[in-house]
Amino acid sequence: MSEFPESQMSPLPNMTLLRLSKDTRHRIYRYLGLASWDGQPYTFALNGGTAEFESDFKNFNYAPYPNLFHGLLLCCRDLYAEAAALLYSTNLFILHYSDPTPPRRAGARTSFQALCDLTPSALLSLSHLKIVINESACHQRVIEDRWVCCLQGNFEYAVSGISCWKGWHDDHQSPLLSPPSTDDHHGELAAAHSVLTDWHSAAIHLLSHVTPGRLALSLVCDIDPRHPQALDIAEGVVGPLRRLPRSYLRECNIRLATPFFHAVGAAATPISNPSSNTATTLTALPRELRIRILEYTDLITPTKDVIWTREHRAYTVAYLGWRAGDPQPSYGSQFFSCGDETNINRGNLERTVSGCFCRLHAAFSFTCRCWAPPGPALFLVCRALCDDARFVFFSGNRFTVPDHKLNPPWVLPVLGFTEHSGAVPTYPYPFERFAASDFLRNVVPTCALAHLRFLDLMFPPYRPGSWPEKQHPVMQDWWATVDWLRGKIDPPALTLRLAVSQGTRDTPSPYYRSITKRDVETLVEAYLHLSQPLAALGNDGLARFYARLPVPWECTDDSVARYRSPDDVHGDDTVKERVERYVMGDRYESLYANGKKEPDFGDIYKKYCHLE
């Protein structure tokens, strides 16, 4: 019995919200923040709160704090069912296995409990979920106007993994299986197995209740691929997903390691259909048709420019952005930065928020179209297709081989990016051979050298005294390499360019420090020593040769005080003409006859040789 008379008891609340029309109720839900007005998904952290940080990106709708609508979800069962269905079906949710609140400390909370707490009805409506078990790179959880994959830092050093680490160092985690020492793998392996146990339990709860064909799942678990058990752990991470029917998930993105590692990357790829014993029809086609088909594969890069650096010993490409006057400003970026704002402007906001599942990582995603070097599968089908693929790759692209770094091209291996006070240090040439010699002898298959059509050899502005002299072992190796090339390349089909970059007033000292007139003579001699062996190729009928050499006397004491633009620095063609005449001989006039000019070799040439 109540202690108050029945007449004094408050009546049961009148559920006026449920009496409203469904459209009206949904408008109220949107005002409370359960869904956005423009249809773009909010991003919520299942661990608590929203998943965005502050950004200058103006077109992004920040998610409200969940406490604004938490009470609504507790009102009654009917309201919860309707509101939760809207909340989980229209927004993206991120779950971090480790506590996402910086700073990360040893012993921080690790749990999938937030995922296990979701009710079956909520999981039925869930449409976007990102699970981060371990994340060692590309951890931005916000739409940014300068989103850059950490691995693109090979070239864009100013917005690379370096700046990524500076801006997000609190979120950086060591890869799973990273031991405290290279000899102790047991402790990290036990911890990894503990993580897998938790993940498998959470995956069973998740995948047994989601609606087939509704959920777009993104999974990040960066593993150290150097660990001897890395492949086994990678297989364990994707194990719960491999048992699903192909149509069970609407979309699936998986990343298993920050650097690309073929075996680990293969673990992220869905199981392919069993191969057929029947012969492929491609080999039955005439060679001309096979070549045309292969030209539409990754063998031809979007810009037809391929870069090989001795630092990474891999082929890659660099997208330098859209310049005024270029057609289709958004076309190129779709093949280079699958998470940048260009894709956001195309309406691909969902996949960008999900994170970076670029092919540059050991990852799988149907949405990434970034160029990556062709894998070995195509070259191992048969000898005929291998020969065709090599022909397409080496004849259809321009190859740039920087002797040190491509960006910035003026950085020297000894000095680095920093400024030095006082006298410029004297140091010998720091490598055992030119990168060009390494590339031609050890990278390009000997049988494919004849397929090369464009070869750009780029050198940083080595200081006087750093260029190897004519009798130096590096220069002797260069002469031997060029002599070895004769008879293996196709000179009448090859265009060769020799380029030396130069610093400007914007580059750190001593890259634009003045030199003496004696130093000028030393640099000119170095240019001639570098180009002298190429004269043999000119005698063999080299199609075209161009030199792009800084004018050293523009850096003498008499002229360094008056700054001249890079175009002016290259304006005096005396050294350029001298070197080109030496290589091409009597055919030099044909390079510029009838008003001919040096052809435009594309963005890489403009960006890095001219330093625009």
pTM here is 0.68
Pairing of strands 305-309, 314-316: antiparallel
CA distance 339 to 354: 9
Q: What are phi and psi of 558, to 5 degrees?
A: -75, -25
Chain mean position to CA 267: 20
- As given in the structure block, the two tokens for residue 342 are 């260009």
How much of the chain exceeds pLDDT 70, in percent? 63
Tell me the residue type at 31: Y
Q: Which residues of 317-352 are buried (b: 16+ CB within 10 A; e: fewer)?
A: bbbbbbeeeeeeeeebbbbbbbbbbbbbeeebbbbb
Contacts of 589 (CB under 8 A, 6+ apart): none
Tell whether the model's pLDDT for residue 311 goes beyond 90: no
Q: Is the peptide bond before 408 cis (omega within 30 degrees of 0)?
A: yes
Tell whether the model's pLDDT for residue 140 goes beyond 50: yes
DSSP 8-state secondary structure symbol assigned to residue 526: H
Tell whether the model's pLDDT for residue 208 goes beyond 80: yes
Taking phi over 0 as left and psi of -120 to 50 as alpha, with beta for the rest, 272 belongs to beta
Tell whether the model's pLDDT for residue 341 goes beyond 50: no
Whether the CB-CB separation of 397 and 304 falls below 8 Å is answered with yes
Q: What is the pLDDT of residues 231-255, one digit of tens each?
A: 888 889 988 988 888 889 988 888 8
- As given in the structure block, the two tokens for residue 404 are 């040190």
CA distance 264 to 234: 6
Whether the CB-CB separation of 439 and 401 falls below 8 Å is answered with yes
CA distance 574 to 520: 13
DSSP bridge partners of 556: 515
Q: What HEC string does 165-192 produce?
A: HHHHHHHCCCCECCCCCCCCCHHHHHHH
pLDDT bracket for residue 482 (50, 70, 90) = very high
- The sign of the torsion formed by the CA atoms of 119, 121, 123, 126 equals negative
Among all chains, which residue has been given the structure tokens 């839900």? 29
Cα three-residue angle 577-578-583, rounded to 5 degrees: 95
Contacts of 121 (CB under 8 A, 6+ apart): 81, 84, 85
Tell whether the model's pLDDT for residue 327 goes beyond 70: no
Among all chains, which residue has been given the structure tokens 């480790």? 98
- As given in the structure block, the two tokens for residue 176 are 């799973």
Whether the CB-CB separation of 612 and 606 falls below 8 Å is answered with yes
Q: What is the pLDDT of residues 587-600, one digit of tens each?
A: 988 888 777 777 76
Domain edges within the chain: 20-144+171-268, 397-609
CA distance 293 to 183: 48
CA distance 138 to 441: 36
Pairing of strands 216-221, 128-134: parallel
* Length of the chain in terms of residues written: 612
DSSP 8-state secondary structure symbol assigned to residue 184: -
CA distance 182 to 352: 35
pLDDT at 153: 41
Whether the CB-CB separation of 97 and 60 falls below 8 Å is answered with no
Average pLDDT of the chain, as a whole number: 73
pLDDT at 12: 46
Whether the CB-CB separation of 181 and 187 falls below 8 Å is answered with no
CA distance 248 to 290: 36
Q: How far is CA 229 from CA 183, 233, 234, 264, 326, in A?
A: 13, 6, 9, 11, 48
CA distance 449 to 557: 44
Please give the average per-residue pLDDT across 508-531, as a whole number. 73
CA distance 205 to 285: 50
